[in-house]
Amino acid sequence: MRRVYKIIIMGLILFSSKMLYGKEYAREEYHLPFIILLKDPSVLEELSLSEEQKEKIKDIHFSNEKAAEEIKSKIRIKEIELRKILFEKKPDIKTVENKIKEIGELNTDLRILKMRKFFQIKEVLTEEQWEKFKEIVSQRPFLRERIKRRFKD
């Protein structure tokens, strides 16, 4: 029976470490990688943004960055709590499942935050600037490939 518990625990550790620390989770590139282009001065120049638009976009970046960091810190705390539970003598599977669900909800919150950021920035751009931005994104093959890979899964 102890051997079965050890196997279950090792499986959970491997699964949770892949899930929690895999490159696709809680990283900027997972959530709309092309938004990062709007921090690039050359792209901002290419879009011919007004000073007011640049300021609005900068404010959106900063306010969202703060909120994202708060969520990421909550995720790190939950991950620590999960590791503690996994290394208990007899971890409760329901507690482990609940902790993983909590982490998943926080990751969802983070992704929603990034989507809201995207829509906030899109509202700042004019129709012409938005079309130009889409053109810039399409000319960046490394971004296209990352976007395609994300939507394949």
Give the tokens for residue 65: 């960055």
Confidence band, pLDDT 50/70/90 cuts, at residue 148: low
pLDDT for 18 beyond 50: no
Cα torsion for 76, 81, 87, 92, to the nearest 10°?
A: -130
Q: What is the mean pLDDT of the chain?
A: 77
Give the tokens for residue 44: 């901002």
pLDDT at res. 1: 55
pLDDT at res. 137: 77
Average pLDDT rounded to a whole number, residues 106-114: 93
Element of type H or E holding 25: none
- Cβ–Cβ < 8 Å for 29, 93: no
CA separation, residue 19 to residues 11, 74, 91, 103, 107 (Å):
12, 16, 19, 10, 11
Rounded to whole angstroms, how far apart are CA atoms 149 and 153? 7
pLDDT at res. 8: 57
Give the contacts of 125 (CB within 8 A, at least 6 positions apart): 47, 49, 53, 133
Higher pLDDT, residue 42 or 61: 61
CA separation, residue 18 to residues 22, 61, 75 (Å):
5, 29, 15
**What pTM was estimated for this model as a whole?**
0.64
Higher pLDDT, residue 90 or 4: 90
